A and B are shown apart, each in its own frame.
Chain A
């Protein structure tokens, strides 16, 4: 029996949210999938929802309207530890720019950087 996760997608493209939801539901990794089209509402979701026993995996896009993916990381990093517990952050972006990847990898809150389209095998190995 594989381990299940709660997924949170943050992406301003409805199309990409649809695609990634589909990927995750086909992967057999997800016990729930939630999505937000902007970073602000994702932050308020995390602020208002206590941690769960199941690990939450955040797949965060870099280029968002309003707050960027990096802004989200900074804000989330300043949350109380209790809120951050059991939440693992991954970047999922279509950027082709190495500098964006470097900046993302150096962020202490981020576990790994993935490029679009979502590679399920890679995600599975990262989640362990």
Chain B
């Protein structure tokens, strides 16, 4: 059973006994703020998260409709209900038609009628809020897509143009010798691999952004072993010492596909961004998992990340200032994946000294 959030209502009326009886009648169901002072009412709106504003039409300083007009620009979210004691029907209809007021209630009020009005008003409030949130999400997705297409098209084209350049060069560079041809073929290979890495990253991105997560038991030892094996043919891998410690206690449930994406990117980076002329290159992997949580630490003594870049590394298509720059997608996908698993990720790094990523992910209960 879900607990309904308590609706917060602000009620403005110059007649104190109305305020009192309203409070008495509804305080059990709602959180109620009352005042007979329009200025104080505005203060309450600033201070509290109010969902419904109720105001009396006939007040000495200001009418209810005037009050609504006044607060509308700064507090557009609360839904407005007008109370009319006299037969101010014309004012009420007018204000409803102008969109100032959602509904009006005439005095003396009927308990159930007011309750229905409040519930309906809250439905409107909630629906509008959801709509705004959806809109923000859509806007974010749209901007991302826009940026994605711009950057991806460039990143796909650059290696292709390199290959085209190599082909043209090879034709120019006569006489053909075995050595020359080999050199050019190696360059083409390099360029194709770069393009392929980019495409694999995009596949990760796509897999990760699909909303569904498939929860399964995770075997961290196997996972790390598989990833390490896949690095076998990457140049430089043989020179790196892996320092792996995995303590898994009981079953850990999560989405193994996302965990693989996370670890694969972090370990791949640790390998790719090693310093060139260091004899002791290492990658440390430390994983502790219990049935409730897992802690993952990936540390390297590579080139590190500059202080200015550190806050941007999880942004899409951000590339560090290092020479061997990546696709700008890897860490973005890592961050998204960690958050989809309700975890958090931290990074600390010193330039020329190494980088440490630490991740905490809760176990996801398996749906029965």
Chain A residues proximal to chain B, CB less than 8 Å: 12-16, 18-20, 22-23, 26, 37-38, 63, 65-66, 94-97, 115-118
- Tell me if A's interface is mostly helix, strand, loop or mixed: loop
Check A15–B191 contact: CB distance below 8 A.
yes
Check B321–A94 contact: CB distance below 8 A.
no
Check A116–B323 contact: CB distance below 8 A.
no
> Would you give 6 A-B contacts (Cβ < 8 Å), ordered by A?
A13-B162, A14-B323, A15-B187, A15-B194, A23-B169, A63-B154
Q: Which residues of A contact B366 (CB under 8 A)?
A: none
> How many residue pairs, one in A and one in B, have C-beta atoms under 8 Å apart?
66
Q: Which residues of B contact A22 (CB under 8 A)?
A: 169, 173
Bound-state CA distance A26–B180 (Å) is: 14
- Tell me if B's interface is mostly helix, strand, loop or mixed: helix
Chain B residues proximal to chain A, CB less than 8 Å: 150, 153-154, 157-158, 160-162, 164-166, 168-169, 172-173, 187, 190-191, 194, 319-323, 325
Check A16–B321 contact: CB distance below 8 A.
no
Q: Which residues of B contact A117 (CB under 8 A)?
A: 161-162, 164-165, 168
B86 to chain A, nearest CB (A): 64
Check A66–B321 contact: CB distance below 8 A.
yes
B222 to chain A, nearest CB (A): 36
B351 to chain A, nearest CB (A): 14
Bound-state CA distance A95–B160 (Å) is: 11
Q: Which residues of B contact A65 (CB under 8 A)?
A: 319-323, 325
A16 and B325 in contact, given A23-B169, A26-B169, A117-B168 (Cβ under 8 angstroms):
no
Bound-state CA distance A119–B164 (Å) is: 11
Q: Which of A16, A20, A66, A96 contacts B157 (CB 8 A)?
A: A96
A46 to chain B, nearest CB (A): 19
Q: Which one of A16, A20, A115 has the greatest number of beta carbons of chain B within 10 Å?
A: A16
Check B173–A26 contact: CB distance below 8 A.
yes
A24 to chain B, nearest CB (A): 11
Bound-state CA distance A12–B323 (Å) is: 7
Q: Which residues of B contact A116 (CB under 8 A)?
A: 158, 161-162, 164-165
A114 to chain B, nearest CB (A): 11
User: Which single residue of chain B is at the shortest CB-CB distance from A99?
Assistant: B150
Q: Which residues of A contact B190 (CB under 8 A)?
A: 15
Check B158–A94 contact: CB distance below 8 A.
yes
Check B321–A38 contact: CB distance below 8 A.
yes
